[in-house]
Structures are given as structure tokens and as C-alpha cells.
Amino acid sequence: MDLSARTAEQIGEAIRRARKARGWTQGDISARTNLRVATISSLENGDAGTKLSTLLAVMAALGLEFRLVERGGAVEIEDIF
């Protein structure tokens, strides 16, 4: 499962995959974040207008975190040890 993303669409898709990998519905995320199901839907569908707070809340509910990496950069050995 590739979770790299540089567009809102890719982020939304990654969120959706992570959610389904846990067997959760948008309603489950909604209950855990107090965000409306419509908001989760909008995020997963790649709305770039989504607020950072919304994305972070959903990611926290999914147990995810960001890693900011160089575009096209290989994984650095420092990232491992």
C-alpha cells in the first residue's frame, strides 16, 4: 500500500484506504472526530480546501502521521536507524 501523496486527491485516497483497511466507515471516523460525515467524504474525495485541522483529526483517528520527504528522493539511511 503506497501512501505517498503530493495532491489532495492522493491524500484523500490514502485516507480512504487506511480507513477501509481498518474496516471503518466514514461514520466511524465521524464519531471519533466530531466531524460530519459529509466533511470526511469531502476530504476523501480530494477537496483541497479542507482545513489542516480536519485532516489531522482524521489522521489521528486512523493512527497515522505525516512524514515530509523530498520529492522523488530515495529513503535515506538516517530514516531507518
Residue 1 Cβ vs a second copy, minimum distance, rounded to whole Å: 9
- Rounded to 10 degrees, what is the CA torsion of 63, 39, 33, 67? 30
Pick the closer one to DNA by CB: 9 or 71: 9
- Tell me which DSSP letter residue 78 carries: G
Q: Any residues with CB less than 8 A from the CB of 6 and at least 6 apart, and which?
A: 71
Q: Which of 24, 28, 37, 55 binds a second copy (CB under 8 A)?
A: 55
Segment interacting with DNA (CB under 7 A) among 2-10, 40-48, 59-67, 68-76 = 40-48
Q: Does 70 bind a second copy (CB under 8 A)?
A: yes
Q: In angstroms, rounded to a whole number, what is the distance separating the alpha carbons of residues 40 and 38?
A: 5
Task: Catalog residues that contact DNA under the rule CB under 7 A.
Answer: 25-27, 34-45, 47, 49-51, 53-54
